[in-house]
Structure 1
Amino acid sequence: MSFLKDKVVAITGGSDGIGKALVDACIAAGAKVATCARNYDKLYTLQLQHANVMLHTITCDVSKEADCQRFIESTIKTFGGIDILINNAGISMRALFNDADIEVIKKVMDVNFFGSVYCTKYALPSILERKGTIVGVSSIAGYRGLPGRAAYSASKFALQGWLEAIRTELLHSGVHVMWVCPGFTASNIRNAALNESGEAQGESPLDEASLMSAEECSREILKAIENRKRTLVLTFNGKRTIFLNKLFPALTDKLVYKFFFKNNELSK
């Protein structure tokens, strides 16, 4: 990852999971890293872990435009600019649409979609100047709607459509725009996923130990950034789901239902 040497990398949601793995990997590669998260204690622990380097951290709720502006502007003030912006912060949900409060849907959209929009808007002048990179961490749910995650799927479809639009707008600017779809990756996102009332469900319906590690995922993301890939889809199951959904959508409906439901009740 020598291409990261002395690059300024801004990563949202860097206190857990894929975001933290990205922070660790970028610092190890010699990058100047800025990250944000809502949890001050986790950010403080992260700073202690990297006490020998200049790591810029700030508490931030990416669903709030003013917080995103403060994160981006403080990063530029600290490091002089931004070369790579990784819009990683995200939140999931686990509730049937019929049962979910509208506020849950708004919250997921505000974090997953508008959080990326806000940060990118304020970082774009610097990224244009440096001919840098904009990354959105999406999901297989951005290609295939998943039951129990209606708002999550909507937010990822929106993220990918928006990124594709701005990639076309910036086609001749030298700026690289891409999105990555990790598939099921071991992280805290399912424990923090919102239930129908907007509260963290506090458990994962999947076997986290069997999933791709956040560290492996971060390595693949950084390699894709280095190679300026258009998109990155990880895991065999993720690639298979997209392929089947494109060619055999009705069959995929049945397979997805079978995976997520047991006795006609949402089980995953």
Structure 2
Amino acid sequence: MLTVFYRRFYILLFLIWLGAVSGLFVLTVWGDFDTFISDFNKPVQMLFNGSSAVNGSETLLQVATEEATSVRREVIHEVRKVERDVEQFIEGNQTINQADSDPVKREIQEDLAANRTQAVSASKVGMLDNLEFTHTETEFLARLQTSSEVGRVTYFWMDKPSKLVVDLRGKWRYSVPRVTDFISGFVGQVVLGRHTDRLRLAFNFRNPEAEKGPSPQLIRTPQGLDIVVTEKLQQKEKE
């Protein structure tokens, strides 16, 4: 077996021989080392550039796919929104057409709308802030000043004792005296009464057997309501 020295010596000779053979091969094919190095760098650069191009292409493809997916989602969302709007429009027209073609349904809908309006109006509470009286021999004026517009007003007559009753429909309160007495005139007393659905004014005649007079005048004013009560002339002539 060769010693370490000879083994290393033969390895060195092998490397020298390999280098010489490689040099002869390069000189034979390329002619010089510069051309060999230049040609050798080209495939190496192409290899690395090709890898970068592949990675870049994959990145661009991924971005393009994500953008296409996002655009597709937005388009689908807009299309569905338009479909919902069209369906609501068609359903609304069908409801209107059905109501127009059926007079019973139309009347029911109108009644429901009127009831809703009345319910809103009924929920408001009016206030009778001031009440003034003026009377002559044959007429008696009650001037009501209210916080809100007076709505429906009804009246009726009563006898034994004779009186005229006027009702302001709706919810009302008052901040004036409940009873007012008069020392002269054909109306001897006015009494207020608050009910759940009306404010009542009772005009008590001085003569408990007085005959029913003409219908009272109910005059709406910017301040509220004027009630004009007229005495029956025949009754006055008999006296």
What TM-score, normalized by structure 2, do the two folds share?
0.20
Q: Which has the larger radius of gyration?
A: 2
| Between structures 1 and 2, the one with greater strand share | 2
Q: Which has the higher contact order (CA 8 A, sep 6+)?
A: 1
What TM-score, normalized by structure 1, do the two folds share?
0.19
